Amino acid sequence: MTKQELIDKIHKNNPWGLSKKGTGEVIDAVFVHISKAIKKNRRFSYPGFGTWNVRNRKARTGRNPQTGQTIRIKASKTVGFKPAKAFKTKL
């Protein structure tokens, strides 16, 4: 699903009378605040859907696929998602 498809689906079923542009702005605001919560608290949980966590990746060695040369990959952070049990059973 694309962002535009999400906006269209929510706009069709919105009881608030928002325009498509307004619906898009609300969706953008939701994702901005989720991102800020993950950055600040290292976690965001939505009951019945799942939890996003900051995960630390260790430094490791890798291989350049073009040359086959061994390279060093730095440690980094990423965001992981763990679905809630209720969500998993619906899949």
pLDDT by position in tens, the chain (length 91): 999 999 999 999 888 888 999 999 999 999 999 999 999 999 999 999 999 999 999 999 999 999 999 999 999 999 999 999 999 999 8
What's the confidence (pLDDT) of residue 17?
86
Q: Running DSSP on this structure, what letter comes out for residue 13?
A: T
DSSP string, 68-86: --EEEEPPEEEEEEEE-HH
Query: 42-91: what fold?
Result: HU Protein; Chain A (4.10.520)
Contact indicator for 37, 73 with CB cutoff of 8 Å: no
Compute and round to an integer the Cα radius of gyration of the chain.
Answer: 19
**CA triplet 68, 69, 70: central angle to 5 degrees?**
115
Q: CA 12, CA 30: separation in Å to the nearest integer?
A: 18
Domains of the chain by residue range: 1-41, 42-91
* pTM, full prediction: 0.76
